[in-house]
């Protein structure tokens, strides 16, 4: 089956980026969210990001205009039923994802491929709650989607080989590189990245270093483009904690125990950039460490 139309569930940070890259690659995109405000905000952000690409000579003005024309929005989940590929990019909570699939599945064409952009949750388990475990896969984009080159492709235990090959081709068409990951908690990138961030929070928690010294040490001492605490704020501390909990629950190893300080920040609602405060305070022009 040739994939021509793509449905995107969720107009947040990941959803709008996924819609952006698919529309730019020539796919017809239908993006849905329960919030009209979120959809309007996503369209404005996509246009702004496309303008930035055009100003840098990465795409033409014609490419930008054509991409914007390919994106439609709806608040009705059922409208995605006729799409060839549907990618769920909702919040990283399994109960929310199950509820979305339960509402969506009755409206899908039999041949539609269903995918989740989950960064850590079992693809096999998500697929088992749908009517098409053979046509279900994990398609994990990195943030920010238009910039980052990697897409993790995760097969559940029932995923058909033809579906995997089809999505390898799709990833290639949108100009990304696919990495095949097995269906174990947090897959490849977050299995390595998020425990590193959690360990950085422990270093802060134990007083080994300050926010500034930890981030500078990793940037200058390990050549990381962004310090681990700065990166945690960018990802969202709630997302980091959710992934650590998935690792801890799924692998039953104490080395994945979330740092109590990370838990405390999330309880305080200090989730990073999106709330204006995390390991840094973003209320002024230059972010200021909070510890």
Active site residues: 119, 140, 152, 190
274 is in an annotated binding site: yes
Q: What is the dihedral of CA 95, 237, 195, 87, to 10 degrees?
A: 40
37 is in an annotated binding site: no
244 is in an annotated binding site: no
35 is in an annotated binding site: no
| Residues sharing a CB contact under 8 Å with residue 85, sequence separation 6 or more, in sequence order | 3, 5, 6, 7, 112, 113, 115, 167, 170
**CA-closest candidate to residue 107, choices 137, 77, 129:** 77
DSSP secondary structure string, 246-290?
HHHHHH--GGGPPPHHHHHHHHTT--BGGGTBSSEE-SSSS-EE-
264 is in an annotated binding site: no
173 is in an annotated binding site: no
119 is in an annotated binding site: yes
14 is in an annotated binding site: yes
Chain Cα centroid distance, residue 160: 23
Binding site, by residue number, is 10-15, 33, 92, 97, 119, 143, 274
Binding-site residues from annotation for NAD(+):
10-15, 33, 92, 97, 119, 143, 274
């Amino acid at each position: 089956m040739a994939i021509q139309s793509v449905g995107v569930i969720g107009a947040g940070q990941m959803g709008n980026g996924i819609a952006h890259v698919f529309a730019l690659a020539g796919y017809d995109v239908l993006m849905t969210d329960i919030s009209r405000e979120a959809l309007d905000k996503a369209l404005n952000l996509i246009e702004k990001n496309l303008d930035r690409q055009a100003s840098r000579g990465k795409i033409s003005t014609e490419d930008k205009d054509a991409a914007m024309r390919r994106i439609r929005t709806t608040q009705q989940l059922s409208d995605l039923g006729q799409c060839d590929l549907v990618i769920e990019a909702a919040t990283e909570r399994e109960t929310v994802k199950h509820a979305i699939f339960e509402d969506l599945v009755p409206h899908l064409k039999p041949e539609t491929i269903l995918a989740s952009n989950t960064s850590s949750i079992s693809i096999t388990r998500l697929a088992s709650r749908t009517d098409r475990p053979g046509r279900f896969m994990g398609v994990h984009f990195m943030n920010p989607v238009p910039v980052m080159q990697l897409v993790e492709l995760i097969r559940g235990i029932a995923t058909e080989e033809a579906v995997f090959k089809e999505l390898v081709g799709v990833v290639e068409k949108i100009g990304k590189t696919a990495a095949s990951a097995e269906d174990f908690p947090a897959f490849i990138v977050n299995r390595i990245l998020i425990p590193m961030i959690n360990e950085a929070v422990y270093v802060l928690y134990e007083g080994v270093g300050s926010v500034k010294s930890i981030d500078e040490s990793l940037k200058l001492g390990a050549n990381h483009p962004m310090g681990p605490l700065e990166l945690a704020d960018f990802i969202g501390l709630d997302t980091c904690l959710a992934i650590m909990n998935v690792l801890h629950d799924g692998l039953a190893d104490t080395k994945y125990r979330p740092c109590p300080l990370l838990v405390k920040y999330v309880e305080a609602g200090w989730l990073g950039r999106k709330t204006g405060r995390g390991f840094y305070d973003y209320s002024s022009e230059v972010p200021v460490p909070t510890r």
